[in-house]
């Protein structure tokens, strides 16, 4: 019995030391959303259980190696022990109960992160290789995600190509973005600041660079930014021409696949494209004029450039005026 008491005391001492040791490493970034509170609560419970189980395994093991080691000159047999059904039932039933409890707590935390607020702001998110685009209720699109603090936002997310995963570490929760489906991501930012959204699903060669800013601000600052962007988008659309096309190319993340300096990326470079002779995958050639560029933007797989795979470029939902502006911009990239 003395050994059991000693082991129990050591376990009781080591468990909090292990837990606070893990906590001191600051594995988790700051909490920046209401949902992060429930995730971190579950995380802390899991870490406490892990610290206890680590101590429960390691303390008896190390204690037995030290206390019950074979002494020098001891050549006798060790004491023979019989199986204990009580012990076997104990270490079967208790873990079963603990697993069931933690499963319930996990479901409870998940339910809390999925609570729906009736006044949630809705933002459309488009993911593609290898960028994010955010369309706001006012109708404009930006490559920055702006969110008002202390208001729930539901992101309606779609992928134009492969599976991506929306992840802001400070918000904790992640959500896959699946081609052919619309997935919801609900978040209530609680801390004003600048963050980054990353793709947490390996999605291709430039997966590591699929990063965009997330700016959480006051409601007044958010409203001011929306007014500015709405006015700027309307002015650009009314103006048309190369400047509007340049803005649309930036907003839709075209630079992730098409360089502006002649270097080869996933797609052909935009530099010197207009007016050039393009070799196609079927062996034919075509001149990159207005008609060809317009067709390629609206239907990327109609004429695939030689040396580049088909089905890579997403099909964007652009108006005829927007396509015309993009073509006008491409004409300037001599």
* 144, 182: one domain: yes
Instruction: Please check whether residues 168 and 190 belong to one and the same domain.
Output: yes
Q: Are residues 52 and 107 in the same domain?
A: yes
| Residue 327 belongs to some domain of the structure | yes
Q: What tens digit of pLDDT does each residue of 103-122 get?
A: 998 898 888 888 888 889 99
82 domain-assigned: no
What's the pLDDT score for residue 303?
83
Instruction: Identify the domain containing residue 319 by its residue range.
Output: 240-331
Angstrom distance (rounded) from CA 172 to CA 187: 10
**Residue 190 domain-assigned?**
yes
- Residue 72 belongs to some domain of the structure: no
pLDDT at 327 over 90: no
Last residue of a domain, one of 187, 206, 229: 229
213 shares its domain with 273? no
Supply φ then ψ for residue 194, to 5 degrees. Answer: -110, 130
Size of the chain in residues: 334
Instruction: Kindly report, residue by residue over 275-317, the tens digit of the pLDDT.
Output: 888 888 888 888 888 888 888 888 888 888 888 777 667 667 7
CATH number where 217 lies? 2.60.40.420
> Is there a single domain that holds both residue 57 and residue 140?
no
d(CA 304, CA 293): 12
Closest C-alpha among 328, 309, 176 to residue 249: 328
The whole-number pLDDT of residue 260 equals 78
Instruction: Over range 191-209, report the average pLDDT.
Output: 93
Query: What is the reported pLDDT for 177?
Result: 94
Domain boundary among 229, 249, 280: 229
- The total of structural domains in the chain comes to 3
Task: Return the bridge partners of 165, or none.
Answer: 176
- Would 126 be classed as within a structural domain? yes
- On the 0-12 / 13-18 / 19+ scale of CB atoms within 10 A, 88 is exposed
Q: Token digits for 195?
A: 């963050």
What average pLDDT does range 249-269 have in this prediction?
A: 76
Residue 146 lies in a domain: yes
Q: Which of 171, 198, 229 corresponds to the end of one domain?
A: 229
Domain of 263, CATH number, reads: 1.10.760.10
The residues, ordered by sequence, that sit 6+ positions from 283 with a Cβ below 8 Å of its Cβ are 306
Say whether the peptide bond before residue 130 is cis (omega within 30 degrees of 0).
Answer: yes
* pLDDT at site 312: 67
One domain, residues 252 and 312: yes
Cα–Cα dist 316/105, whole Å:
42
311 or 50: which leads in pLDDT: 50
In the chain, pLDDT over 70 holds for what percent of residues? 98
Q: Are residues 317 and 259 in the same domain?
A: yes
Same domain assignment for residues 302 and 325: yes
In a domain, 81, yes or no: no
Asked whether the predicted pLDDT for residue 135 surpasses 70, the reply is yes
Asked if the model's pLDDT at residue 69 lies above 90, the reply is no
**Do the domain assignments include residue 218?**
yes
């Amino acid at each position: 019995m003395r050994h059991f008491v000693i082991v129990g005391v050591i376990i009781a001492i080591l468990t909090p030391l292990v837990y606070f040791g893990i906590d001191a490493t600051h594995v988790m970034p700051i909490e920046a959303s209401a949902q992060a509170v429930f995730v971190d609560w579950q995380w802390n419970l899991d870490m406490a259980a892990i610290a206890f189980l680590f101590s429960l395994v390691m303390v008896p093991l190390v204690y037995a190696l030290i206390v019950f080691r074979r002494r020098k000159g001891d050549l006798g047999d060790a004491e023979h022990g019989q199986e204990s059904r009580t012990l076997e039932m104990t270490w079967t039933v208790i873990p079963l109960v603990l697993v069931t409890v933690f499963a319930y707590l996990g479901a409870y935390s998940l339910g809390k992160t999925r609570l729906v607020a009736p006044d949630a702001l809705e933002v459309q998110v488009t993911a593609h290789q290898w960028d994010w685009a955010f369309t706001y209720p006012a109708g404009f699109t930006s490559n920055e995600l702006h969110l008002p603090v202390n208001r729930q936002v539901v992101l309606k997310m779609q992928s134009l190509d492969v599976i991506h995963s929306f992840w802001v570490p400070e918000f904790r929760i992640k959500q896959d973005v699946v081609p052919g489906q619309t997935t919801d991501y609900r978040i209530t930012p609680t801390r004003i600041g600048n963050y980054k959204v990353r793709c947490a699903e390996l999605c291709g060669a430039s997966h590591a660079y699929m990063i965009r800013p997330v700016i959480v601000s006051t409601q007044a600052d958010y409203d001011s930014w929306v007014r500015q962007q709405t006015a700027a988008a309307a002015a650009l659309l009314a103006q048309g021409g190369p400047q509007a096309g340049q803005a649309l190319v930036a907003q839709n993340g075209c630079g992730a696949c098409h360089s502006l300096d002649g270097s080869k990326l996933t797609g052909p470079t935009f530099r010197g494209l207009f007016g050039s002779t393009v070799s196609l995958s079927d062996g034919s050639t075509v001149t990159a004029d207005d008609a060809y560029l317009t067709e390629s933007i609206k239907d990327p797989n109609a004429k695939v450039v030689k040396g580049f795979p088909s089905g890579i470029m997403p099909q964007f939902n652009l108006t005829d005026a927007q396509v015309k502006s993009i073509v006008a911009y491409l004409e300037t990239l001599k």
